[in-house]
Amino acid sequence: MSELDTLPRMDRRVALQWMLGAAAAIATRDGRLLAADDTTAPITAKGYGLDPSMVKVYNPGDVWPLTFTQVQRRTTRALCDIIVPSDDISPSGSAVGVPDFIDEWISAPYPEQAKDRPLLLDGLRWIEEEAQRRHQTAFADLSTAQQTVICETFADPAKAKSIDAKAAAFFKRLRDLAFGAWCTTPEGMKAVGYVGNVPTATFAGPPHEALKHVGLA
Amino acid sequence: MPVITANKLRDSYDVVIVGSGAGGGQTAYTLTMEGVKVLVLEAGRSFDVQSEVAMFQLPSQAPLRGVATPDKQYGFHDCSINSGWDILGEPYTQAGTEPQNQFRWWRQRMMGGRTNHWGRISLRNGPYDFTPRTRWGVGLDWPIGYDDIAPYYDKVEMLIGVFGTNEGLENSPDSSPGVLQPAPKLRVGELFAQKHGKKVGAHVASIHRAVLTQPQDAETIPAKLHPGNLKAQRILADSMQSRSPCFWATDCHRGCAIRANYDSQTVHLRPALATGNLDILPNAMAREITLNKEGKATGITFIDKTTGREGHAKGRVVVLAASSMESVRLLLNSKSSLFPYGLANSSGRVGKGITDSVSSSLGAHIPAFEGMPIHNEDGAGPHAYVPWTAHAQNRNCELGFPGGYHLEFTSGRQMPTLTTFNGIDSRSGSGTTLFGARLKEDARRLHGCQLGFGAQGTMLPNDGSFCELDPELKDQWGIPVLRFHWQWTDFEINQVRHQQKHIRELLEAMGGKVKPFVEADVLKSMKPGGSVIHEVGGAIMGADAAHSVTNQWSQTWDVKNVFLADGAPFASTADKNPTLTIMALAWRMADHLMDELKKGNI
């Protein structure tokens, strides 16, 4: 790093030690600053505890800090919109906050999410490396067609092996999380045909056309 | 008399109840309506159902889309706080190391206990369920029969409000005329199973659930439940009028601010408090039942969790309703020269005879549902179930197990969760991970096409399933913890094999594509002991003091003024969910308790 060269009064070895010490101190104070580049760094934030308010509306980042780097955020955003593109019926993943959810997920202080963190962060790096290898361009700056071709490679277990043994598992996990996050928003629910969560005076039962559809009327 | 703090305790109460759930709530209700002065100790905090439950909140409004975490082990919006299988500072241990020897223990540390997130399925035990020895030649008969408890089932159902139909089925009893609320219409999936299930002998019927489908009859029910007691009638009428019927939306497990479904506070504690005869002390972790020289219980020692200080609540009678295993733990921890192995344990049976519902599940994609016109299928949780009807075929355990099991449905276009579409690739026949336009199209096409069944069946006590005090470990309050032993017998394994085969043929009868049955998967498909949260027993009732802990009134043989009001006295698990029976037994016990008080016997 060039910063080392701007410390002329220190011996390089001393400077290096000083840098490492300072970095460790910052990491201790605020794990999220450095954690994102090191996929093995543990999340030290606290969870919402055993007695959180259940009625409050929460947004990613409200309970624990988000940890994506700028690059990871950009890549994720682009991936979310390839996984869930917008169409006439419904908006894309990024339009309803899915990238923030992915960030919340990989930054969460719970075991299941901690297990996903290295896979997802490694996977984002593989995506970037693949974009660079093919086009010498960041994934987010590629055309939709180019992004789709890369995703098709990751989505096919047979092809994904050439990238990394876990590349297909990464893409499947990201897809499950991104699509799950999308279809649990009001817009996503509507798009997959969920029309409930509405109070009504009576329960009408299935309409005639639905019964007819399955041979019950 | 209200919800109090430890410094407001009265010098003495007629009855001290440990626990505010179904059993404690029912006992408090029955006693206070008749003028008995009652204290309820609750280990958790007060909880306001009206303002604290999340009914319409979407998963996207919760951290991590509401998935289960170690802090909220049934998901963020589930109506459980300070609760879980594993709670920091409140451990329990396992004697066995193999997966099939593990017991999972859910603790619900909040006012109203487990009734807050209960599934509200309210099935009566039938005559055979009280007489396993007589009927199937195995296990033990209870000291009571169906006829002893039937009037109390009617009373509880009228009080809490249960919808359902009378089907005239063998061993799945009808309620008396006029007791049940009207059953809601069945959904497409439930009707489809009703039609096609007949091919494989499955009888699909309306389920019974503790949810109001119409306003309760506040004109006539109070007089039926409290004849000659005008004050009780007035209080109950007020309570019933304050409840709204279901508005056919939101998951009952999240709790119900409009009071359409049953929870202990809504139905039991609120009117009990209105009598002026009830104090409730929250944040009080019971440690021990105290005893006098004559061998009579004098009250409960507890830890006030707000201060860490120990307190004592005095009562002429002690009722344990802390949940089956917690009540057992209290008995085992109440040691004295008179009872060196725990209170009321002269038989050595305290902790023995634990059972749980025998359970497994299976689901499939039903192609006939694809492309069905979209409509609102929310309703009030499950509306149908498959009761056990193969009594003749299993008269002498010909199927390899005693009793039977019922099936509960999962069906319809439900509110999506984070994981609803995780299996979409195989469901749509794709060898790759779907994404993009096709993913969206397939999700819309396939949503609501999954139909699944969960089985819950009979379990009789066995010598390998019990609990005892761990010789070393204590919880954060210094109270010795439980160590569980768990063992399945061939009965349970045979039953789960039968469940898996039967559900498979039922799904196939509906056109479902299910992977073939594999014998090696039988053990894997069994839900671990305790995980249905139907664990009962541990202080079972019986005909004599040598082989049981309580008599037919849930009164301990050894200490006449100690009673149990949770699942601990259950002598076995039926193919029905236990909560309705817990309430019916608690009401019956409380009536007996008052008789004994009046007679001066306790």
pLDDT tens digits for range B382-428: 999 999 999 999 999 999 999 999 999 999 999 999 999 999 999 99
Which value, to the nearest 10 degrees, does the dihedral of the CA atoms of residues A18, A21, A25, A30 take? Answer: 90
Quote the CA–CA distance of A25 and A7 in Å, as a whole number.
19
Q: How many of the other CB atoms lie within 10 Å of CB of B412?
A: 25
Q: Using an 8 Å CB-CB cutoff, list chain A residues near B447.
A: 192-194
A145 touches chain B (CB under 8 A): no
From B45, which residue of chain A is nearest by alpha-carbon distance? A51
Q: Flag whether A65 is in a domain.
A: no
Same domain, A184 and A102: yes
Q: What is the largest CA-CA distance in chain B?
A: 78
Same domain, A28 and A76: no
Cβ separation of A177 and B418 shorter than 8 Å? yes
Evaluate if residue B376 carries a pLDDT over 60: yes
Q: Flag whether A160 is in a domain.
A: yes
Same domain, A90 and A171: yes
Domains held by chain A: number: 2
Same domain, A174 and A85: yes
Cβ separation of A50 and B247 shorter than 8 Å? no
Q: Flag whether A122 is in a domain.
A: yes
Evaluate if residue B459 carries a pLDDT over 90: yes
Domain that holds residue A176: 70-191
Same domain, A175 and A111: yes
From B76, which residue of chain A is nearest by alpha-carbon distance? A54
- Across the strands, what pairs with B363? B452
A201 touches chain B (CB under 8 A): yes
pLDDT tens digits, B508-563: 999 999 989 999 999 999 999 999 999 999 999 999 999 999 999 999 999 999 99
Q: Is residue B83 very low, low, confident or very high in pLDDT (cuts 50, 70, 90)?
A: very high
For position B377, what pLDDT does the model report? 97
Q: What are the structure tokens assigned to B525, written together?
A: 């498909």
Same domain, A171 and A78: yes
Cβ separation of B187 and A148 shorter than 8 Å? no
Q: Flag whether A64 is in a domain.
A: no
Quote the CA–CA distance of B375 and B286 in Å, as a whole number.
49
For position B437, what pLDDT does the model report? 98
Provide the CA B49 distance to its chain's centre, in angstroms: 19
Query: Which string of b and e fits A180-192 if b means at least 16 CB within 10 Å?
Result: bbbbbbebbbebb
Q: Using an 8 Å CB-CB cutoff, list chain B residues near A47.
A: 69-71
* Chain B, window 425-484: residues with a beta carbon less than 8 angstroms from a chain A beta carbon: 425, 431-437, 439-440, 443-444, 447-448
From B195, which residue of chain A is nearest by alpha-carbon distance? A216
Cβ separation of B435 and A112 shorter than 8 Å? no
Q: Using an 8 Å CB-CB cutoff, list chain A residues near B69.
A: 47-48, 108, 110, 112
**Average pLDDT of the segment spanning B88-115:** 97
For position A43, what pLDDT does the model report? 85
B61 touches chain A (CB under 8 A): yes
Q: Is residue B90 very low, low, confident or very high in pLDDT (cuts 50, 70, 90)?
A: very high
Q: Could you tell me the pTM of the whole model?
A: 0.94
Q: What are the structure tokens assigned to B219, written together?
A: 């004109």
* Chain A, window 70-109: residues with a beta carbon less than 8 angstroms from a chain B beta carbon: 82-85, 87, 89-90, 96-97, 101, 104-105, 108
**SS3 category, B84:** strand
Give the CA angle between residues B258, B263, B265 to the nearest 5°.
Answer: 85
Q: What are the structure tokens assigned to B8, written together?
A: 């407001």
Distance from CA of B322 to the nearest CA of A (A): 20
Q: Which residues contact B339 (CB under 8 A, 6 or more apart)?
A: B291, B345, B346, B558
Same domain, A7 and A95: no
Closest C-alpha to B419, from A204, A57, A112: A112
Nearest to B421 among A154, A179, A209 (CB): A179
Nearest to B413 among A110, A148, A194 (CB): A194
Q: Flag whether A156 is in a domain.
A: yes
For position B101, what pLDDT does the model report? 97
Q: What is the pLDDT tens value at each position of chain A, 217 positions in all?
A: 333 333 334 444 444 444 444 444 444 434 344 444 555 567 889 999 999 999 999 999 999 999 999 999 999 999 999 999 999 999 999 999 999 999 999 999 999 999 999 999 999 999 999 999 999 999 999 999 999 999 999 999 999 999 999 999 999 999 999 999 999 999 999 999 999 999 999 999 999 999 999 999 9
CA distances (Å), origin B143, targets A55, A175, B539, B565, B576: 46, 57, 13, 16, 19
Q: Flag whether A78 is in a domain.
A: yes
Same domain, A121 and A23: no
Q: Flag whether A25 is in a domain.
A: yes
Mind giving me the DSSP string for A83-96?
HS---SSS--TGGG
For position B276, what pLDDT does the model report? 98
For position A130, what pLDDT does the model report? 98
Q: Flag whether A83 is in a domain.
A: yes
Q: Using an 8 Å CB-CB cutoff, list chain B residues near A181.
A: 60, 65, 418
Q: Supply the ipTM of this predicted assembly.
A: 0.95
Same domain, A100 and A180: yes
Same domain, A29 and A118: no
Distance from CA of A212 to the nearest CA of B (A): 9
Domains and CATH numbers, chain B: 1-51+107-164+217-346+537-602 (3.50.50.60)
Mutate to test the interface with B, among A46, A51, A189 (most CBs of B within 10 A): A51
Same domain, A174 and A114: yes
Distance from CA of A154 to the nearest CA of B (A): 8
A54 touches chain B (CB under 8 A): yes
Q: What is the largest CA-CA distance in chain A?
A: 88
Are residues A171 and B433 in contact, defined by beta-carbon separation less than 8 angstroms? yes
pLDDT tens digits, B41-61: 999 999 999 999 999 999 999
Across the A:B interface, residue pairs with CB atoms under 8 Å apart total 230
Same domain, A22 and A110: no
Cβ separation of B433 and A175 shorter than 8 Å? yes
- How many H-runs (helices) and E-runs (strands) does chain A carry? 10, 0
Q: Using an 8 Å CB-CB cutoff, list chain B residues near A198.
A: 249, 376, 378
